[in-house]
Structure 1
Amino acid sequence: MTAGQASDLLQLTYRPDLDLLVGRWSYQPDPALLPAAYELLTARALESGCSYWLQDIRRRAANDPAITRWLLAEYFPDMARRLNGRLRVAYLTGPALLEQIVAAPDFVPAKDYAGKAHAVAFFGDEGAAVAWLQEQRG
């Protein structure tokens, strides 16, 4: 995947007014395309120094279990370390994907991340996702 293909899949915008890194995923990707997209996300996050991310995955219909395990076990902890010990990620999902995620046997609710360097939460409403990210600053 080229940088251009990665930016077609994932549009990233740093919002300095909210100190949020907003990622909008354009379509359901083949899992083979995800590493390059996450390289782009990593570069933008480190460039902005932003550890509060809103990831809009409403155009995705499924999560790849291997990628999800990698995100939770390796990527998010590593990014938290690289971003001064803290990372908060709010995922904005469509209703069907949100139902799949919450029903998964290995789902971890946001409250279970208390005291950890990284936290992940899922929302069906963008306002609620942004509010959660703002609350995480306290």
Structure 2
Amino acid sequence: MRLVKPKKKSAVENVLPLINVVFLLLIFFMLAGALEKAELLEITPPETANSGQPDDTTAILLVSADGRISFEDKILERDDVVGHLRDYFAQHPDGRLKLKADAQSDAAMVIALIEELRAVGLKELGLLATGAS
């Protein structure tokens, strides 16, 4: 009786399943990474020694290093910020606000902005920072 030896697979046939798995993983991670909403301005918050997590609030005000301000996915002029926030809090009287300022932003401008927010009637303001490493 004569047995037939199985045909040896070529190197390309051995690598193909691995390539398929790598491409599937690539597609998965591309989709999973795209699900997070990107912020309008690139902000690097300052570090904090506090390890507590901020409460969930209704709005985020972004201040970039070059002084640009963003609120609700719109870049605002410095003079228009108070008007937009006054309108927002008229519609959301119990609304809270997170302020996320870049670590390199002008501190005097951020403090002046906080004072203007207090004048608008903001009751609670959360300052966002990254944890110290």
Structure with more helix by fraction = 1
Which TM-score applies when normalising by structure 1?
0.37
Higher relative contact order (CA 8 A, sep 6+): 2
Which TM-score applies when normalising by structure 2?
0.38
- Structure with max Cα Rg: 2
